[in-house]
Chains A and B, each alone.
Chain A
Amino acid sequence: MMRQRRPPSDPARGGRVGLTVILGWPCLMLGIFMLVPFMLLIRVSLAPADVEQLWGQGVTLAAFGAMQQYGVMSAIGYSLVYALAIAALALCLAFPLTWFITGMTRRGQIGGLIFLLSTLALSDVLIAFSWQVMLARRQWIAQWLLATGLLGRSKSLVPGTGAVLYCLLYISLPFTVLLLYPALSRLDRSYLEAARPLGATPVRSFFTLVIPLARMPIMMAFARSSITTLGAYTGPLVLGRPENWPLSVIIGKVALSAQNMPLSAARALTLLLALTLVLIARRGRRVG
């Protein structure tokens, strides 16, 4: 005999309990994995330096007072410039690339995506050292630039800002394509065909139809690229000049070499504050 389930006495209350349980788990995970380390970061930044115990007891603002040392302000500037430049460059290259991939046959799309995914098999350390080797004085890139006259004399292209940008772009590009791919592959291309009899050229249709329809994935890809580039460490460390290092490298140096955890925590918070200010300014400009 089949048992009949009794309906809950109050469906609205049951729904609320279910929603609380469903939302409770991610909130708990966010609290544990994001809020706790963030609170710890704030606590460490306010502690006095103590090499033996990582940080000392008590509260002081000394770490925030040392902001003028080691060119922190210029490092913040380089961090933001690298982040925004790489996000913009990656988007400018990845968007047409994804558009072309989604226009290919099924086999071509799979091949293109597998190729992109295979580049992710390299760690950022391997990518940085690969570019260091390829941009060296004796390698073919420098030799080819010398032969074509683009390089005045034989020299290594590393360390340099260009090498850092190549490396960071190489890391960001596959992720940007993978973020854009679902939206662009679902985009109905009949819109473009419908726009053609109305006088729109393919280029005009691309800019007035495709890009506005993919606005949200574009914003997501830009945010992802800029945030991950902001924390890039190996590429700028290996390929950049010390005077062009972003703040993430300075933070790593202060934490690992100088063993000054409060100072590195204070600088991490400063970087976070700088990014927040940029986002607020951008939002304010959009609202205005």
Chain B
Amino acid sequence: MNTLTRAGRGLFLALLAVFLALPLVLVTGVSFNGKQMIPTSVGSWR
């Protein structure tokens, strides 16, 4: 039970960390990559 609780907590924290980190990583990556994130360029991502 204790292991299950610990695993659940770890999974919850990991998923939230990924959710919160995604835009940060994207903005950092894009800014270093030199691509623009302005609306006119978003069409090219689709």
Q: Which of B11-32 contact A (CB under 8 A)?
A: 12-13, 16-17, 19-24, 26-27, 30
Q: Which of A115-155 contact B (CB under 8 A)?
A: 115-116, 118-119, 121-122, 126-127, 129-134, 136-139
B46 touching A138 by the CB < 8 A rule? yes
Segment at the interface with B among A9-17, A60-68, A93-101, A251-259: A93-101
Q: Which residues of B contact A116 (CB under 8 A)?
A: 20
Q: Which residues of B contact A137 (CB under 8 A)?
A: 46
Q: What are the interface flags for B1-45 relative to A under an 8 Å C-beta threshold, 1 for contact and 0 otherwise?
A: 000010001001100110111111011001000000111001001
| 24 A-B interface contacts by CB (under 8 A) | A100-B9, A100-B12, A100-B13, A115-B21, A118-B24, A122-B27, A127-B23, A129-B38, A129-B42, A130-B23, A130-B26, A131-B23, A133-B30, A133-B37, A134-B23, A136-B42, A136-B46, A137-B46, A138-B45, A138-B46, A156-B46, A170-B19, A170-B20, A174-B20
A119 touching B24 by the CB < 8 A rule? yes
User: Count the A residues whose beta carbon is within 8 Å of the partner chain — how many?
Assistant: 28
